[in-house]
Amino acid sequence: MTDPIADLLTRIRNALMRGKLTVNAPYSKVKHELSKLLVKEGFLTSVKKVKKDFDELEIALKYFNEEPVIRELVRESRPGLRKYLSYKEVKPYKGGLGLKVLTTSKGLMTDKDAIKKQLGGEVICRVF
């Protein structure tokens, strides 16, 4: 697998389209941090590390009126084309209704937090 973050986002998107309540994905620290950030921002219900034959993430998806809360989940920076923003270029996504997740020198954070802390970084994904 060349892009594990894209794999996680695809698993979440596919599970939402099928109406699943949870989705499992192979564990990594970055995927766990990304999932926790989406829980904190209200796009997912919960995330936990599960030990089976190997470590997995169990992600509980969030719905409102039987519709997925996440309407758009797109990988922005990818292995073949990295996308970086300086702190001056970071703008609220969709007028602040959605968010961009950035990896900065201070760890993963949303576009709102990056603007407050005046940090730029690599744009991991955007969520709406």
Phi, psi torsion values for 31, nearest 5 degrees: -65, -40
Instruction: Please check whether residues 50 and 8 belong to one and the same domain.
Output: yes
The dihedral formed by the CA atoms of 59, 123, 127 and 75, expressed in degrees to the nearest 10: -70
- 8 and 59, same domain (yes or no): yes
Q: In this structure, what DSSP letter does residue 54 have?
A: S
Residues 85 and 120 in one domain: yes
Give the count of domains, the chain. 2
Q: Residue 13: helix, strand or coil by DSSP?
A: helix
Model-level pTM greater than 0.85?
A: yes
d(CA 76, CA 42): 20
pLDDT digits (tens, 9 = 90+) for 29-80: 999 999 999 999 999 999 999 998 899 999 999 999 999 999 999 999 999 9
Domain finish residue from 68, 92, 116: 68
